[in-house]
Amino acid sequence: MTIAQQGEASLSRNSVATTCPYCGVGCGVIVEQAEDGTRSVRGDPKHPANFGRLCSKGSALMETVDLDGRLLHPMINGQQVGWNEALDHVAQGFSRAIAEHGPDSVAFYVSGQFLTEDYYVANKLMKGFIGSANIDTNSRLCMASSVAGHRRAFGTDTVPGLYEDLECADLVVLTGSNLAWCHPVLYQRLAAAKAARPEMRVVLIDPRRTMTADIADLHLPIRPDGDTALFAGLLAWLAAAGQVNESYVTRHTSGFAEALAAASALDRDMLDQMTGLEAAEREAFYTLFTTTGKTVTVYSQGVNQSSCGTDKVSAIINCHLATGRIGRPGMGPFSVTGQPNAMGGREVGGLANMLAAHMEIENPEHRALVGLFWNAPRMPEKAGLKAVDLFHAVADGRIKALWIMATNPVDSMPDADAVQKAIAACPFVVVSDVLASTDTMRHAHVALPALAWGEKDGTVTNSERRISRQRAFLPAPAEARADWRILCDVAARMGFAEAFSYSNAAEIFAEHAALSALGNEGRRDFDIGALATIGNADFEALKPVLWPALKENSSFRTVGQDGRFFADGRFFTEDRKARFIAVTPSLPVQTDAAWPLVLNTGRIRDQWHTMTRTGKSPRLSQHLAEPFVEIHPDDAAPLGIAAADLVSVRTALGRIVVRALLSPRQRKGMLFVPMHWTDQFASCARVDALVPDLIDPVSGQPASKNVAARIEPYAPACYGFAVLQQPPDWEQIGHAPDYWAISRCTGGWRLECAFTEAPADMAGFAASLIGRAHEDGENLSYVDARTGQARYAAFNGARLTGALYVDQQPVGVARGWAAEQLEADFTDPLRRFIVIAGRPGKGSVDRGAIVCSCFGVGATQIKTAIAGGCHTVDSVGQALQAGTNCGSCRAEIRILIERHAAGTPATVAA
């Protein structure tokens, strides 16, 4: 079956080929419906991104598509209204602001989780019809430094290579990328290639020894923001070693001498200091790079999210240009995109400083071309406000009407409390989301229900420039509508009906494709003219397609036959030469006695961003069920912080309260807090409230990674742990604990909590939390006044409705086991006492913290298997199935084997 036929198959009722809505790997998934109506997902074996593989998040997609918590109707000020009223209201709100204060008084803040068609329409409305460039996107927080680095080197925002380059390289350098957790299927492909060709080398550059280190031959625990110096040092090293490709540099580049001079100004001491690495470690890496022709450098947020992110990108690209290692199999710099459609957003020009189809807003020729094509009444002549400045403008009242779509800035923007305040004070705020309650939605005057993954249709582009279809397999729920349709309906009401009269996604895509080819003639990298006349049926059946996709008769070849850019040494600058950029490393984050540590932020394996979707999945929520800070045991000990203690993490901006996870994999002097937890899931864990809005001066991307911080024990009077059928409603309960965090489990919810002062009536608190027994139920409790330990359980018929465990220490109850009791049968009243005992009875097991989400296998089970003689990941897999589906947990299993097979005790709180 060809992939095109798969498209046709997608029209059948039982099987739909679509694309995963999470990371930029862009895996193809097939959704199948069984006779009984249940649906399942599997990796699409024909999709060139994943060839059938899926990671833990992709495998759990079906746990996230229910309607629980969905926004299903338009709302104005919390009241349900009809679509007409909502759309009129939005159009009037924007039109009024524009009439009174001009087009720059309004703004859109959109997202790399938009489909290309949504994105195209939003950009066209703002830039062509409202006449402002005030549309920016969460990609500013994500890819802006890569975009800026590409543009200043290549003349365009081009990713030269393909995923297969990671497989055929002899050296893969991963810097600022936790590929194992953030691009898991690409990581699996790399791991498989290395297993097949063990001579291949992998170098990981990350302050933390992440799970990606599992396949690394060399890990450089770099000092925060040491990358510019490290790669500048490499350029000088290459030159000194006579390994510069002189003929390539002369024929195809400019600026080499200046770049080398800047790089050579760094002496060994400066490199030691700036990289925080031993000279020997650095030189081992330099030697590998110098002696290995086929080298790919993969980078992501450890590079982009920095006040010197663009310079880091340039320092990396410089080394590839100097060696001519670009655009050929197994060679090149490779910026991996985060979101499913970060690339698509760049193609349509969704950033405030771009236009459309990789054209530039400040280029009059480009403006004229696009303006004519759109028949646009007005086009902005200058770039619009970039995310951080945009929210500053909201804060100081310059923006009178703001429309936020498919992103959650109250949690994900730096200085998030200030962003929250700004949004709350903005006179007119519209939010389009799939959920009814998010930290951002809370401030919406108008809430618009969008279609979610599985319901919507369109395209996304992955990290290797491959455009794939997302296809609907579920009906639109209640009144939810596609984002592009909502935008078109508003545009029509603002007087632009004709330009926004699309009847489906295919028409929008065709227009976007036509624009990409307009006046292009090989001048711009992004050209999908071959798809400009695509009709409905072909759009339906569209197979994954790599861009550029030029019209058949086009004589302008910009790309090699193999789909890679720049092998011919022709770039998109005016003289067609690539530009070296001279970079001067900036100093690392300044710490001092008050703020002695550096706070680093990022992602975990099984959660996606602000948890609006992955937080619904019991499987995914049990891997790391609570907000935490990772800290080196040597940093924790002098502060009196022990594993599983609650701690406050502070920066100059504020404080969060999270669980301490002691780990020797963390670089000393640094802390790591995941970005995922919001006010919906925890009392005080929005890490972006701690991150100042410092930006890279070239790209405008915030420095979300490295912030001066300190940490101290939180020391509550008592800790609690509960399992509950219903999530707690603190308003109704009347007393929220000082600290709390909730997560989904199969039968309900898990709650961690703590009180700085124990409630005078703990039993009363327990009863209102876990419920009072009904007539055929029972409430049990056990209180030890001496130790402060208490346990409460409520049963309703044969079911446990909730149990609360309280202790003066972190509660020592087996979490996974306790959560399973929500689904257990308690018809026999005697069995109920095991809940109070808090321990598995005879014949049942405590699985421990979940390691393998696919099969729900926990650390305790794996340790038992190891003790029983399973000393390889595969043998653990044979015994327990763990790690045999998506493979995302294999590195963690290997670490458990290393620790427990060798008899060393674990320091990581499991």
Among 178, 461, 468, 621, binds ligand MGD (CB under 6 A): 178
Among 185, 244, 589, 793, binds ligand SF4 (CB under 6 A): 185
Among 184, 327, 588, 777, binds ligand SF4 (CB under 6 A): 184
* Pair 439, 411: CB distance under 8 Å: yes
Among 27, 110, 142, 865, binds Mo ion (CB under 5 A): 142
434 binds, among ligand MGD, Mo ion, ligand SF4, none (CB under 5 to 8 A by kind): ligand MGD
Sole window of 16-24, 627-635, 758-766, 808-816 interacting with ligand SF4 (rule: CB under 6 A): 16-24
> Which residue has 């020391």 as its token pair?
715
- Provide the minimum distance between the beta carbon of 23 and ligand SF4 in the complex, in angstroms, as a whole number: 3
635 binds, among ligand SF4, Mo ion, ligand MGD, none (CB under 5 to 8 A by kind): none
Choice between 55 and 631, CB closer to ligand SF4 = 55
Choice between 321 and 430, CB closer to ligand MGD = 430
Q: What angle do CA 333, 151, 382 make, to 5 degrees?
A: 155
C-alpha to C-alpha distances, 29 to 17, 20, 164, 442, nearest whole angstrom: 6, 6, 19, 33
Rounded Cα distance between 549 and 461, Å, is 13
Does position 685 bind ligand SF4 by CB under 6 A?
no
Does position 620 bind ligand SF4 by CB under 6 A?
no
Peptide bond into 548 cis (omega under 30): yes
Among 116, 341, 432, 683, binds ligand MGD (CB under 6 A): 432
Which residues are within 8 A (CB) of 454 and not within 5 positions of it... i.e. 6 or more apart?
Answer: 18, 31, 61, 65, 472, 473, 474
As a whole number of angstroms, the longest Cα–Cα distance in the chain is 87
194 to 233: interface string for ligand MGD, x by CB under 6 A: -----------xxxx-x-----------x-xx-x------
The residue among 652, 625, 682 whose CA lies nearest residue 818 is 625
52-91: contacts with ligand SF4 (CB under 6 A): 54-55, 57-58
SS3 of residue 742 by DSSP: strand
Rounded Cα distance between 787 and 366, Å, is 74
- Provide the minimum distance between the beta carbon of 223 and Mo ion in the complex, in angstroms, as a whole number: 23
Does position 175 bind ligand MGD by CB under 6 A?
yes
Size of the site for ligand MGD (CB under 6 A): 61
* Pair 108, 126: CB distance under 8 Å: yes
Does position 147 bind Mo ion by CB under 5 A?
no
Looking at residue 642, its amino acid is A
- Provide the minimum distance between the beta carbon of 153 and ligand SF4 in the complex, in angstroms, as a whole number: 27
Rounded Cα distance between 833 and 828, Å, is 10
Choice between 188 and 610, CB closer to ligand MGD = 610
Which residue is nearest to ligand MGD, using beta carbons?
338
58 binds, among ligand MGD, ligand SF4, Mo ion, none (CB under 5 to 8 A by kind): ligand SF4
Sole window of 15-23, 86-94, 141-149, 253-261 interacting with ligand SF4 (rule: CB under 6 A): 15-23
Phi/psi at 660 (5° precision) = -85, 130
Looking at residue 256, its amino acid is F
DSSP assignments along 616-648, one per residue: G-HHHHTTS-S-EEEE-HHHHGGGT--TT-EEE
Sole window of 252-260, 430-438, 501-509, 555-563 interacting with ligand MGD (rule: CB under 6 A): 430-438
Does position 300 bind ligand MGD by CB under 6 A?
yes
* Burial label, 459 (beta-carbon count in 10 A; 0-12, 13-18, 19+): buried
123-152: contacts with ligand SF4 (CB under 6 A): none
- Provide the minimum distance between the beta carbon of 22 and ligand SF4 in the complex, in angstroms, as a whole number: 3
SS3 of residue 852 by DSSP: strand
Does position 338 bind Mo ion by CB under 5 A?
yes
> Which residue has 């081992």 as its token pair?
284
79 to 118: interface string for ligand MGD, x by CB under 6 A: --------------------------------xxx-----
Does position 141 bind ligand MGD by CB under 6 A?
yes
The two three-digit tokens of residue 783, written as one number: 């209180």
Which residues are within 8 A (CB) of 251 and not within 5 positions of it... i.e. 6 or more apart?
Answer: 569
Strands 707-713 and 646-651, by their bridges, are antiparallel
- Provide the minimum distance between the beta carbon of 33 and Mo ion in the complex, in angstroms, as a whole number: 32
Does position 339 bind ligand MGD by CB under 6 A?
yes
* Pair 228, 311: CB distance under 8 Å: yes
Among 116, 295, 408, 789, binds ligand MGD (CB under 6 A): 408
Which residue is nearest to ligand SF4, using beta carbons?
58
- Provide the minimum distance between the beta carbon of 450 and ligand SF4 in the complex, in angstroms, as a whole number: 20
> Which residue has 């006579």 as its token pair?
242
- Provide the minimum distance between the beta carbon of 212 and Mo ion in the complex, in angstroms, as a whole number: 17
The two three-digit tokens of residue 134, written as one number: 């005030």
Sole window of 338-346, 717-725, 786-794, 825-833 interacting with Mo ion (rule: CB under 5 A): 338-346
Phi/psi at 573 (5° precision) = -80, 175
Does position 602 bind Mo ion by CB under 5 A?
no
- Provide the minimum distance between the beta carbon of 756 and ligand SF4 in the complex, in angstroms, as a whole number: 39
Residues 119, 123, 124, 126, CA torsion sign: positive
Rounded Cα distance between 249 and 256, Å, is 7
The two three-digit tokens of residue 897, written as one number: 């084997």
449 binds, among ligand MGD, Mo ion, ligand SF4, none (CB under 5 to 8 A by kind): none
Size of the site for Mo ion (CB under 5 A): 2
Rounded Cα distance between 783 and 785, Å, is 6
* Pair 176, 303: CB distance under 8 Å: yes
Rounded Cα distance between 190 and 180, Å, is 10
Choice between 58 and 309, CB closer to ligand SF4 = 58
Choice between 10 and 600, CB closer to ligand MGD = 600
DSSP β-bridge partners for residue 19: 28
600 binds, among Mo ion, ligand SF4, ligand MGD, none (CB under 5 to 8 A by kind): ligand MGD
Chain-centroid distance, C-alpha 456: 20
Rounded Cα distance between 736 and 729, Å, is 9
DSSP assignments along 351-388, one per residue: STTB-STT-BTT-HHHHHHHHHHHT-S---SS----HH
Which residues are within 8 A (CB) of 645 and not within 5 positions of it... i.e. 6 or more apart?
Answer: 659, 660, 713, 714, 810
463 to 502: interface string for ligand MGD, x by CB under 6 A: --------------------x-------------------
227 to 266: interface string for ligand MGD, x by CB under 6 A: x---------------------------------------
- Provide the minimum distance between the beta carbon of 103 and ligand MGD in the complex, in angstroms, as a whole number: 23
DSSP β-bridge partners for residue 70: 435
Does position 144 bind Mo ion by CB under 5 A?
no
> Which residue has 């018929």 as its token pair?
797
18 to 37: interface string for ligand SF4, x by CB under 6 A: --x-xx-xxx----------
Rounded Cα distance between 882 and 613, Å, is 24
Residues binding ligand SF4 (CB under 6 A) = 20, 22-23, 25-27, 50, 54-55, 57-58, 183-185
Residues binding Mo ion (CB under 5 A) = 142, 338
Residues binding ligand MGD (CB under 6 A) = 23, 111-113, 138, 141-142, 175-178, 181-182, 205-208, 210, 222, 224-225, 227, 300-302, 305, 338-339, 405-409, 411-412, 432-435, 438, 450, 452, 456, 483, 600-603, 605, 607-610, 612, 675, 687-688, 691, 704-706
